[in-house]
Amino acid sequence: MTRGDLGPPSLNADEKTTLVTFLDYLRESIIAKADGLPDEAARTAGVPSGTSLLRLVKHLIAVEHNWFVWAYAGEGVELWDDEAFPGPADTAETLFAEYRAMVERCDAIIAACPDLDRPGVRSLRKTEPPSMRWLLVHMIEETARHAGHADILREQADGSVGR
C-alpha cells in the first residue's frame, strides 16, 4: 500500500492496473480516515451496531485475508473472524501495520495472477470459486462502502471532513 496522495489510474490503463489502483486508493482512504485520531476515539462506536474506525480496519484485514489468501490462493485452514471487535492490545498503530502487511500479502497474490478470468482455489460462498476479476471488483465495493462509513465516523469523532 503506497503512502501519500495516491490518485486514480490513468484513463487508458489496462484492466488489472485500473482495478488494483482503485482498490489501493480506497485502502489508503481507510487508513487516512482513522489516522491522527486518538486510539480511544478511533475505538469508540459511532453507531448502535458497534462500528468504529478501528473495527472497520480490523474487519477489512479479515476480509482481505479470507478472500485473497484463504479462498483465492487456498492458503491456511481457517477463516478469520470478520466481525471481531478490536481487542485491548489493538491500537491504530498495530492495526494499520497489520492492514498494510495484509495488503502487501494480497497484492502479491494479485500480482501473481496472470489472467483475471482465473478462478481461485475455493469460495467463501456456496458457489464455484470466483475469478480474480470478481474478487477485485468485490473488494473495491467492500472497501468503498467502508470508506464511506469511515468518513461519517471520523466526522462524528472530531468534525474532520474530506480525505
pLDDT, tens digit, for every residue of 58-93? 999 999 999 999 999 999 989 999 999 999 999 999
The number of residues making up the chain comes to 163
Residue that wins the pLDDT comparison between 70 and 10: 70
C-alpha cell at 73: 490462493
**119 DSSP 8-state letter:** B
Task: For residue 131, give the 3-state DSSP assignment.
Answer: strand
Element (H, E) at 111: helix 92-111
pLDDT digits (tens, 9 = 90+) for 140-160: 999 999 999 999 999 999 888
Show me where the domains of the chain are located.
Answer: 15-158
Could you tell me which CATH class the domain 15-158 is placed in? Answer: mainly alpha
